[in-house]
Chain A
Amino acid sequence: MSERNEFATSDDVRRTIERVYTVLSNVLTYNRLVQGVYFLIALSVTLLFFFPFYWLLKIALTWPTQTIYGGTPSLAFPDPQLFNFVRVFYTIDFLQFFLNSVIITVLAVGGTVIINSLAGYALRLDFYGKRAIMLFLVGALFVPTFVAILPLYLLSLKLGLLNTYLGVALPMMAGIVGTFIFKNSFEAVPDSTLESARLDGASELYIVFGVLWPLSKPAIATNVILTFISAWNAYLWPLVILTDREMYPLPLALATFTNRFQGNFAVAYAFAILVLVPAILVFILLQRQFIGSFVYSTLKQ
């Protein structure tokens, strides 16, 4: 047997390396291709979702508004102007409506993080009937909000909360989804941590707000964002409970404005953008924690 057959020559090594390199590069090229296709699909879906907002912004920045109706529709911004936003400020008392929305939202968000975290902590503990309560809460998720409007109205009437900011915010101060988010987050904290806190003399309230809260920032952020969006965009409940137009939050003011100035799309769109901006700002500020909560939930599963 020749020496050539027993030992690999430098040519064999080179050929083997080349073969491995070819296979690897093919795999990598294929992966890149797949990634590229995924990226294109994701980009298309993103653009599809983004398009209505883009169109809203484009119309809101168009002045004179008559130019919307004439000529060929274009995706470009030929001459963007902020005049429609200026018109909104001078046509209605925007700051008053903005302040109403801020008060209602702050009350709702403040209430929801406290009440939901207390409820979440209660559901973390073991007690008789816990399962029944959990089933009741999950079942209550299937009940549409509109069904509860009448009982809520009667309750607010009895409490003397009609036409008050607290009356608008009170039903938003507790939510089943938010409670479960807190419950799941609190359950991730080991019992030994809570036992240590109890041994150090911590009260139950201190355990919730001093021990569990700092460890559940994503849950707090998720609760804040979800409640903020629902309270900021609330339309039906404030419409039912508020009779004084001066106390209307922004979505109601937008509806009134649109009815009053029918046909002025550009100004109405500018108003809609002004309503949207705070919600987007809050989302951006809490984005890290919000996405963190999703990542955490995925890892947990």
Chain B
Amino acid sequence: MVRINPNKWIRIPPTIRQFWILARDGLSWQTVLLNRFTITLVLIVVITAGAQAYITTHDSGTITGQVVDESGDPVTNVTVVLVEMGLKNQVNRQTQTTDSTGHFSFPDTNALEFRIYAQNGELQSDVQRIHLYYRGQPYQVTLVLNGSERN
């Protein structure tokens, strides 16, 4: 095995040479990689990277759902209201109308916490308060138009 001897070209002080020997002989890849500090650090990095990869591939931000009546039949042409909530107050309000199968969709929402309800004239569903785990998380919700009076 060829060993580089830097002392051939420059004069290295004995203290630095001794530290080089200490590092060379005292540290092996096993001691550096297979200890609990490195393993913990690697685990944290892997879990974070995995979570970030999942979020990046699942960030459509589409909130979909269906409005049904108390017997479970879809209700058409109902207004669905989505109110985006901030930490202090509401920040955004959007509405959509259900199609012929009672479905609705809010594409590209950036909400983290929101309230959603359906209203049809004087009737209204219960207000559902939903918090997502990350912005852009797709979410599906079923709203029951149960005949409660509109607030």
Contacts and interface: CB of A to CB of B under 8 A. Distances in A.
Interface string A52-73: 0000000000011000000000
Interface in A57-112: 63-64, 81-83, 86-87, 90-91
A4 B19 CA distance: 82
A99 to B, nearest CB: 13
Interface string B120-151: 00000000010111110000000000000000
Nearest to B13: A203
Contact of A264 (B87, B131, B133): B87
Contact of B134 (A86, A91, A281, A285): A86
Interface residues of B, number: 19
A261 to B, nearest CB: 6
Given A87-B87, A261-B87, A285-B40, A82 B133 contact: yes
B99 interface: no
Given A203-B18, A209-B22, A90 B135 contact: yes
A210 interface: yes
B17 to A, nearest CB: 9
B88 interface: yes
A139 interface: no
B6 interface: no
B55 to A, nearest CB: 11
Contacts of A209: 19, 22
B14 interface: yes
Nearest to B35: A285
Nearest to A267: B87
A83 B131 contact: yes
B88 A203 contact: no
B83 interface: no
B15 A86 contact: no
Given A87-B87, A285-B40, A81 B131 contact: yes
A299 B88 CA distance: 56
B9 interface: no
Interface in A192-225: 201-203, 205-206, 209-210
Interface in B50-79: none
Closest 9 CB pairs of A and B: A83-B131, A206-B18, A203-B15, A210-B22, A205-B15, A90-B112, A261-B87, A285-B36, A86-B133
Interface of B: 14-15, 18-19, 22, 26, 36-37, 40, 87-88, 112-113, 129, 131-135
5 contacts: A86-B132, A206-B19, A206-B22, A261-B88, A281-B40
